[in-house]
Structure 1
Amino acid sequence: MLIIGERINATRKAIGEAIEKKNAKFIQQEALNQISAGADLLDVNCGMNVKDEAKNMEWLVNTIQEVVDVPLVVDSPSAEVIESGLKQCRKKAIINSITGEKKRIEQILPLVEKYNTDVIALTMNDKGMPNTAQERLTIAKEIINFAKAYNIPSNRIYFDALVRPISTEPNQAKEFLEAIRLIKSILDTKTACGLSNISFGLPNRKLLNSTFLAMALFAGLDAAIIDPTDAQMISSLRSSEALLAQDEYCMNYIKMFRDSKPR
């Protein structure tokens, strides 16, 4: 499974301040720490500073690429900001994200086509957030049809079936997992998600998040936006991969323990 490191996000106070002060060393250390911890890609979110967001994204992408050589996930609600980041990306990027909403489709899919990126697609549309797995599947089908108009094949789309908090909606974990199974089995496309929303408002969130990751992996999740420096999360991931025969000869599982030993 692909690990997308989530830590370079301006909603984190320390990251927001580092972006504002253009503290390249701090940002670069965050990038290096995530790669060292096992991240395959890095999500890059520079926040909602309307005046400077495009310039901040450009600076952030270039700053990160000075020290790491991995694909980036360019994350913003603004098409302008996304494009400013894509222009700087040295490797094939992923856009985070589109939805089934007409306006968002028209803004973002041309960028997917122009820059030959992959894209994370949230299974929601102009009617709002879906409640059931079947509704999520229907929206995913709609997005695939929209993408065809821009010559974007479905294998460049990672569907995010929208994790919602079980503290207020107890059935949503089950609906999410079923949606992943349906999307994988019927549409044969890739899936991705951020996990932390599942535990919102509950104690011991790390326990719920890491357990849910194992369940999502079994359901067919291909990529997760997580904190790769979270040892409990990575332990759950590596053990799940080994048990699901996704880790040849358990090499990543063994490496995790070797790397954790003091030298």
Structure 2
Amino acid sequence: MSTAQGFPIRIIGERINPGFKSTKALFDNEDLAGIQALAVKQAEAGASWLNVNVGARAMTDPAWMARVIRAIQEVVDVPLSFDFPSRKVQEICLQSYDPARAGGQLPIVNSITEHRWDLMELYGPYRFKVILMASERVEDGVAKGNKTAEDIYGTARRGALRLMNDHGMPADDILVDMSVSAIVADTERLNRSTIDAIRLIGQDPALRGVHMMGGLSNIGQQLPPKAVDGSDLKHGLENAFLTLTVPDGFDVVLGTPWRGYAPLAEDHYVLQAYRHFLEQSGSNALRAVRKFYRA
């Protein structure tokens, strides 16, 4: 695990995704060379995996998706993560993936939930790592969002033990997605719940070896670019979250590999403001958010 980022974390490169306008243009133009260049750029920047998401076209044109996977593997040797909540699509991805081109490393299936467990039917014909979503549980046959640390932890624990005990999956092949939410309208202490759940998972001996991960790009959504102290607010929030959670076992980020992450000093303005925000709820939380960018 590289500490080049300043944290002992690994990065799943997120850029091969039509959610990015520049990548969407590559897909729209079927620019495989451009997609390959993007893959190489992320790998050279230190990505441990590359996430692959071709959007809705995966359902209507599986041959295109297979071409993208093979083209990426022609130019990089890092394993891939397949991002689509469909068993049919994931099977095509796994069929197209060549482990030998990644030095024998397994791909990642992103993602399974308690109500989308059918993806594990593929674990037999294929071997892979999984991203397990801790944000949703099934209760009385209905999917419900988790809002408390106990629910997030409970869902992660049930899913991880099921993967290990029922499917024989090694703990090292399980990545629990902790779903980092935006702070701008977080009046229900969802950030606090996520951080507390990370601590609970990290302290559970039954889950030793399981990884915790998440995408950090949402955390500063809809906030101004600069904090009161003039620093990059969104980047500061990402680093504040990591500063608080990496010691408890959060060790994989779905993000842009060249973004750069590093711990914040205890007196860093954004870290102090984030700590204050985490203790608030309701309208107090909204007022605490304003402290990030208003003197």
TM range (shorter): 0.7 to 0.9
Bigger-Rg structure (1/2): 2
Q: Is 2:139 the counterpart of 1:142?
A: no
Q: Which residue of 1 aligns with 2:287?
A: none
CA–CA distance in structure 1, aligned partners of residues 66 and 21 of structure 2: 20
Instruction: Select which of 152, 163, 171 maps to 2:180.
Output: 163
The answer (yes or no) to whether the contact 2:17–2:24 under 8 Å persists in 1 is: yes
**Any runs of at least 4 consecutive aligned residues in structure 1 with deviations exceeding 6 A, and if so which?**
none
| Cα deviation, residue 93, structure 1 | 0.4
Kindly report which structure 2 residues correspond to 1:65-214, keeping only aligned pairs within 5 A, or say none: 65-91=73-99, 92-101=106-115, 104-105=116-117, 107-123=118-134, 124-126=136-138, 127-147=143-163, 148-170=165-187, 171-186=189-204, 187-188=207-208, 189-204=210-225, 205-214=234-243
The answer (yes or no) to whether the contact 1:16–1:47 under 8 Å persists in 2 is: no
SS in 2 for 1:125: strand
Structure 1 residue runs without a partner (length 5+): 241-263
The answer (yes or no) to whether the contact 1:3–1:40 under 8 Å persists in 2 is: yes
| Cα deviation, residue 50, structure 1 | 5.8
TM-score between the two structures when normalised by the length of structure 2: 0.73
- The one-character-per-residue Cα deviations of 1:23-72 (angstroms, maximum 9, x if unpaired) are 11110111111112111111111101265342232121111111100111
Q: Which residue of 1 aligns with 2:4?
A: none
Higher share in helix: 1
The answer (yes or no) to whether the contact 2:180–2:216 under 8 Å persists in 1 is: yes
Kindly report which structure 2 residues correspond to 1:199-238, keeping only aligned pairs within 5 A, or say none: 199-204=220-225, 205-230=234-259, 234-236=260-262
CA–CA distance in structure 2, aligned partners of residues 200 and 216 of structure 1: 20
Q: What value does the CA root-mean-square deviation take over the aligned residues?
A: 2.0
CA–CA distance in structure 1, aligned partners of residues 61 and 92 of structure 2: 9
CA–CA distance in structure 1, aligned partners of residues 241 and 64 of structure 2: 34
The answer (yes or no) to whether the contact 1:61–1:88 under 8 Å persists in 2 is: yes
| Percentage of pairs with the same residue | 31
TM-score between the two structures when normalised by the length of structure 1: 0.81
SS in 1 for 2:151: helix
The answer (yes or no) to whether the contact 2:58–2:89 under 8 Å persists in 1 is: no
Structure 2 residue runs without a partner (length 5+): 1-8, 100-105, 226-233, 266-295
Q: How many residues align?
A: 233
Q: Which residue of 2 aligns with 1:41?
A: 49
| Cα deviation, residue 200, structure 1 | 2.0
